[in-house]
Structure 1
Amino acid sequence: MLQEIVRQCQRENPFAQRRLYDHFANRLYRLCRRYVKNPLETEEVLMNGFLKIFRAIGTFEYRSDDELEVWMKRIVVNEALMHLRKVRKDEWLWDDTPQEDSLPHHYTGPSAEADLHAEAIHDLILGLPDGYRTVFCLYALEGYTHKEIGTLLNISENTSKSQLSKARVALQALLVKNGYSYERK
């Protein structure tokens, strides 16, 4: 099904473009939301991402549905990163402000009373400073290496590693602040 939609999109068929958009819009919107906090800006990033997808789909060689999704995700992630650079003028990325004075060392999972849903986790990730959140999402959720992140964000590999470490600590602090338990080891 998707293979035929891609073929039709390569012929610039607007109905096929709409079908491709409808098929992936929700997933790609959630992906954009990991990087861009403002819902209106997220919509703009998504639309710009789809414009780039439709312009570049003629060069895409369909092999599988999974490869199509990975290709589209890369375009949308790059669009979100370009948006962040433009909006924040390179000052957004490296906020080293400590999130808590004393942070726990080991997360043991939600307490019995807690009911941690994907949306709650997403909201906590959105609570991270932009730089932490960007590196965390690229590494932990998108599967980029620190070298690739460094290239994408024009930072060193070590800076990427440092930001990931700080993001994890900050996320742990947010979990504690929101009632999820930790044990020190």
Structure 2
Amino acid sequence: MIAREVLVKWVKGCQNGDEKAQSAFYNHYKKRLMGICLRYARTTFEAEDIFQEAFIKVFQKMGELKQPEAVHYWIKSVVVRTAIDHYRKNKSSGLLADTDQPELMQDDIDPFNILDQLENEEILALISALPDGYRVVINLYLIDGYEHHEIAELLGISIGTSKSQLSRAKRFLRNILHEKGVTAYE
């Protein structure tokens, strides 16, 4: 992990247009942020587009960052919002059917117990296999920690639709895992 002082120095360098600081900052964050992009994208190519667009925004808006020590949270937010914007621009109609009724699901199965049995690459592949609406909602809710009202606002859907998409995504993942022979009871 990079020392806080070094990170603050890079941020201030980026704010002043220092190319060495920008390069160091980019290299430090590229793997982590590309991982976020891969979770939201359907393909690696799409993830790379989101990543490049996000980093352009990061460097353009770096001057607005008032607390350089909070850069980690800020940059993650920029990347997630860029992925959401990309999703909104490219979504097909019907991916997020507007329904106010969340579907019933088995809440007694903890998806994280099941996921413990898998490698990181397998988990990423499972998330990537989800239909667009499911993938976006499950990323926002389970991984990035957004609440349903925040997801609804970000995506322009109802809270019920957010809950429904999460429920459907979990069921979809459960079915895929079951087909692979992975269960909650192993």
TM-score (norm 2): 0.83
Aligned residues: 172
**Is 1:38 aligned with 2:76?**
no
Aligned-partner residue type, residue 132 of structure 1: Y
Q: Identify which of 123, 126, 142 aligns with 1:124.
A: 126
The DSSP-based 3-state class of the residue aligned with 1:41 is helix
Instruction: Please list every run of at least 4 consecutive aligned residues from structure 1 whose deviation after the TM superposition is greater than 4 angstroms.
Output: 107-110
Aligned-partner residue type, residue 164 of structure 1: L
Aligned-partner residue type, residue 146 of structure 2: Y
Contact kept, 8 Å, 1:36 with 1:42, in 2: the verdict is yes
Instruction: Report the structure, 1 or 2, having the larger helix content.
Output: 2
TM-score (norm 1): 0.84
CA 1:170–1:89 in 2, change beyond 3 Å: closer, same or farther?
Answer: closer
Contact kept, 8 Å, 2:98 with 2:158, in 1: the verdict is no
Who is 2:103 aligned against? none
Percent of aligned positions with the same letter in both sequences? 37
Aligned-partner residue type, residue 109 of structure 2: H
Alignment deviations for residues 131-172 of structure 1 (CA, whole Å, 9 cap, x no partner): 011000000000111111011000111111111111111111
The DSSP-based 3-state class of the residue aligned with 2:40 is coil
**Is 1:79 aligned with 2:76?**
no
Aligned-partner residue type, residue 44 of structure 2: P
Offset of 1:41 from its aligned partner?
Answer: 1.6
How far apart in 2 are the matches of 1:168 and 1:127? 12
Contact kept, 8 Å, 1:176 with 1:182, in 2: the verdict is no
Who is 1:22 aligned against? 27
How far apart in 2 are the matches of 1:140 and 1:104? 14
Who is 1:93 aligned against? 96
